[in-house]
Structure 1
Amino acid sequence: MSGNLEKIKRSYACSAAGDLPGILQDFSEEGVWTDMAGGPHSGRFTGPKEVLKHVFGGSIGEWDRFACVPEEYFEDVDRNVVVMVGHYEGIHRITRRSMWVRTAHLWRFEGGRIVSYEQFADTKLLWDAVTPAAEGGGPHA
């Protein structure tokens, strides 16, 4: 197992413990975080400060008992890439709707630092959880 895989596993352990700065301790200042297009909080954010503000300070705070649960990891040491496959779970604080959404995260490294993160998830299921039931789910319902 490489140091890159260990760093990603540590990041998810920090997430489970609620250690938000720890999640990004190996994220480059120029690193780009991309949340899936079409989702309720999609976007591209550069550097740990922007990610903490827009991802962990914004969308994650909307959930009770939010968790990203890793199930499998895959690594390509020649390309400096780690992939996590798992799921999200939680209850939205406003709608009280629960979610369980499969996800995959693609992490790229340069010089031992994370230079990009890309999320893949079913955005319809995310919209269904954040949209009040009277509105019938998200824009893709």
Structure 2
Amino acid sequence: MSESPNTILVRRLYDSGMAPEVTAEIIAPDLVWDITPGFPHSGIYHGWESVSRDFFGNLMPDYESFSGHAEQFFAAADDHVVVLGHYHAVSKAGAEADARFIHLWTVRDGKLTHLRQAADSHVVREVLNG
């Protein structure tokens, strides 16, 4: 069975490593980025500029490295894609951890408009404590 156009779109974001030319093309200007409470720098961000500056700009300095790895993609309804995967985090002190995530994407008119994230926030926070 072939992937839905929405699943292909979401997979493209992960496969690109969120490359700037890809995000510029597929992320909607009115993006809503919803990070689960308890996760570092959790909250709701509006627009890619805010996500880049206020979420990633605050998250990335806390870690030596932090990356998300998508493992499975599921089309859900006409406008949603569910992604299962894990984050890999390395603290400044060298501690490492992997934490599972679920991302629920909403797609509208060929653009990613909403991310709702749930993750094992405890594991991600623990790596910061060394």
Q: TM-score range by the shorter chain?
A: 0.7 to 0.9
TM-score by length of 2: 0.86
Distance in 2 separating the partners of 1:24 and 1:37: 27
Cα RMSD for the two superposed structures: 1.9
Query: Structure 1 unaligned runs (5+)?
Result: 134-141
> Alpha carbons of 1:52 and 1:128: their partners in 2 closer, same or farther (altered >3 Å)?
same
Aligned residue for 2:38, secondary structure, equals coil
Identity rate of aligned residues, in percent? Answer: 24
Q: Which AA in structure 1 matches 2:41? A: H
> Alpha carbons of 1:22 and 1:63: their partners in 2 closer, same or farther (altered >3 Å)?
farther
Are 2:114 and 1:112 aligned? Answer: no
Q: Which runs of 4+ in 1 moved over 4 A?
A: none
Distance in 1 separating the partners of 2:61 and 2:4: 32
Aligned residue for 1:37, secondary structure, equals coil
Q: How many Å apart are 1:60 and its aligned residue? A: 2.9
Q: Which AA in structure 1 matches 2:36? A: M
2:54 is matched with: 54
TM-score by length of 1: 0.80
1:60-75 map, 5 Å: 60-75=60-75
Determine which structure has greater relative contact order: mean sequence separation of CA pairs < 8 Å that are 6+ residues apart, divided by chain length: 2
1:1-141 map, 5 Å: 1-15=3-17, 19-20=19-20, 22-23=22-23, 25-76=25-76, 78-93=77-92, 95-131=93-129, 133=130
